[in-house]
Structure 1
């Protein structure tokens, strides 16, 4: 198939990844390409040049409009509208069989566009007002929609999802996250340094538990980082930087427990799955889809309860490592995920064929 992978353009689709959406778009393009599909990545122009790249905008908008996300900045909205309108027009004229839409923008959802090029839209976030209506109005025979967890599918469609919407769990390449049979007694945390990811609470809980902790990830919110996290760093809590996948896998594998502290309606939790592949038991806030993804081998605490999270860290230290890897291999591999993507593409194409036949009749 000739496939357009349309991305969110806040950050580049390149290593080291800013977050799960960027990682999954990269893995999607790479995986489909490896399976013999003709893939064009519609992303910011500073994304990975190994792909056939069609730039939605010249650079990721976090560089052009730093800190403007979710603030209703008119110039950013106009910038994105212009870029996505042109990209959607190029997709329509580009001879694509299907588009996999990860953009979180309203234009690719328009029924006239999904009727022209069959579309699979993946919703990587909880529902929000600026997109909710467009998503619900976009359902049609040539459009398939996915959420990353059953929790998020129910959040987008509280009255029950249409038949065109389903759960598509994210997937990773287990070989890229090697299993390590034993850790060194330390804890690790990965993610964007923002209040909703709450690394400061991870540091506090690890300190109560008496377990050294290393933080990894991009410093997205500098004010929060300087005010809430830096004062907590010392010999037992350190920042290890923002690492690419291979280096991060090594750091994860040597630890004994992964600390996961979402303070929002977590839609999936890709970093936890990567850690589980390395064998790490997870101590986590029970928020959003966390329990659904991690499973009963995890140790959970009520969201925001630092003392309970400290107890969960201690409990996770004694958990066996093999079941974590087994869960990833059973449910969250890249091959399983790509198989589902290809099935969704075929379903969207079948919807287009049926619509054409019906119109002809």
Structure 2
């Protein structure tokens, strides 16, 4: 199968990944290629060239004239850059009738709005909760568009879709590193911003009497300066934004991973990766995390109606339960549900199901490729 994949235009798809969206795109592209499928990846310049058979870089913004640059209605630069990227990608796709399916990972409305003129049907993975621009794209999309959510919890939020989305959990590549030795310390991984709750993890680790390693980029410097930086010291260390292999080594050497969102996570990739690496998870039960942290892989903590002090206590108690879970069994259960190979096969079935729809077969520019 020949698959065109539209990555986000905000960040290159390369390690260390800017977020779960980029990581998911990389894992899926690599997994499809390993099965012999051809991947043409539209992505920001600087993307890892080994991820796809072809990399098509999104264009940079052209320089604005002196008059245009001072226009009071000038949109934000990122807004203009996104439009330039996806209009260029759609224009390129219009000249490629050999594409079997277009997979939109971008969360931009233009591929959806223009989906009916594309030479192949469009699959869009909805990585986030609904927002207005995306709902506009969905309203303009035709019947040759299909939608995937990363959890049933996230799917329930997308109420404006023309048909229920399919649910395909994000997958984690097995690096053959095994369950790891574990250790006494705890680890927390993510963007350092208030909604991710690293400050809750710090309090929980101290309540449990364990050291904590923080990993991730500082996304909100002001919040970090007053909520995290003053807490760093002998028992809390920030390791920065690490490469994926370095994160895996640190997680495998930890007793448990704390996942402490203050919002409803659409999925919970950190929890998925931790359990595939054999390290049990203690997570606040928000959004899709219930579908990731299953029996035998970790502990979920209920925060409904609870004060943050009560949540911290529950996280502390959860650590004591989680560290007793056998690491090989944590890994085995996680791979059966969340392995990259499982995800890739599910997406291939999504592509085949879309191709089988009568409205796709009847389209005048139906694809010329052969499903394999």
TM-score (structure 2 length as normaliser): 0.85
Q: Distance in 2 between matches of 1:161 and 1:327?
A: 34
2:106 corresponds in structure 1 to: 103
**1:48-59 counterparts in 2 under 5 A?**
48-50=48-50, 51=52, 52-58=54-60
2:163 corresponds in structure 1 to: 162
2:245 corresponds in structure 1 to: 246
- CA deviations on 1:294-325 (whole Å, 9 max, x unpaired) are 11332222345222222222322223323321
Is the contact made by 2:182 and 2:252 (CA closer than 8 Å) also made in structure 1? Answer: yes
2:16 corresponds in structure 1 to: 16
314, 323, 343: which one aligns with 1:317: 323
Superposition deviation, residue 177 in structure 1:
5.0
Aligned with 1:189: secondary structure? strand
2:46 corresponds in structure 1 to: 46
CA gap of 1:107–1:311, structure 2 versus 1, over 3 A, is same
126, 130, 136: which one aligns with 2:129: 126
- CA deviations on 1:90-110 (whole Å, 9 max, x unpaired) are 122123221110000001112
1:355 corresponds in structure 2 to: 362
Q: Distance in 2 between matches of 1:332 and 1:105?
A: 26
Q: Distance in 2 between matches of 1:324 and 1:58?
A: 44
Superposition deviation, residue 174 in structure 1:
2.0
- CA-based RMSD: 2.4
CA gap of 1:112–1:315, structure 2 versus 1, over 3 A, is closer
1:233 corresponds in structure 2 to: 232
Kindly indicate whether residue 273 of structure 2 is the aligned counterpart of residue 280 of structure 1.
no
Superposition deviation, residue 348 in structure 1:
2.4
Q: Which has the larger radius of gyration?
A: 2
Is the contact made by 1:284 and 1:300 (CA closer than 8 Å) also made in structure 2? Answer: yes
CA gap of 1:205–1:161, structure 2 versus 1, over 3 A, is farther
Is the contact made by 1:188 and 1:255 (CA closer than 8 Å) also made in structure 2? Answer: yes
Is the contact made by 2:152 and 2:167 (CA closer than 8 Å) also made in structure 1? Answer: yes
Superposition deviation, residue 143 in structure 1:
1.7
1:222 corresponds in structure 2 to: 221
Which one is further off, 225-234 or 308-317?
308-317
Is the contact made by 1:8 and 1:43 (CA closer than 8 Å) also made in structure 2? Answer: yes
343, 354, 371: which one aligns with 1:337: 343
- Misfit runs of 4+, over 4 Å: none
Q: Distance in 2 between matches of 1:156 and 1:45?
A: 31
Superposition deviation, residue 222 in structure 1:
2.1
1:196 corresponds in structure 2 to: 195
CA gap of 1:205–1:130, structure 2 versus 1, over 3 A, is same
Unaligned runs of 5+ in 1: 60-71
Which one is further off, 146-155 or 232-241?
232-241
- CA deviations on 1:129-180 (whole Å, 9 max, x unpaired) are 232243355361x22110000111111128x9715x2101111122355312
Unaligned runs of 5+ in 2: 62-73, 367-372
1:81 corresponds in structure 2 to: 83
Kindly indicate whether residue 262 of structure 2 is the aligned counterpart of residue 255 of structure 1.
no
- CA deviations on 1:298-355 (whole Å, 9 max, x unpaired) are 2222345222222222322223323321221211111111111111122222335532
Is the contact made by 2:90 and 2:118 (CA closer than 8 Å) also made in structure 1? Answer: no
1:63 corresponds in structure 2 to: none
CA gap of 1:145–1:83, structure 2 versus 1, over 3 A, is same
Aligned with 2:111: secondary structure? helix
Superposition deviation, residue 264 in structure 1:
1.3
2:334 corresponds in structure 1 to: 328
TM-score (structure 1 length as normaliser): 0.88
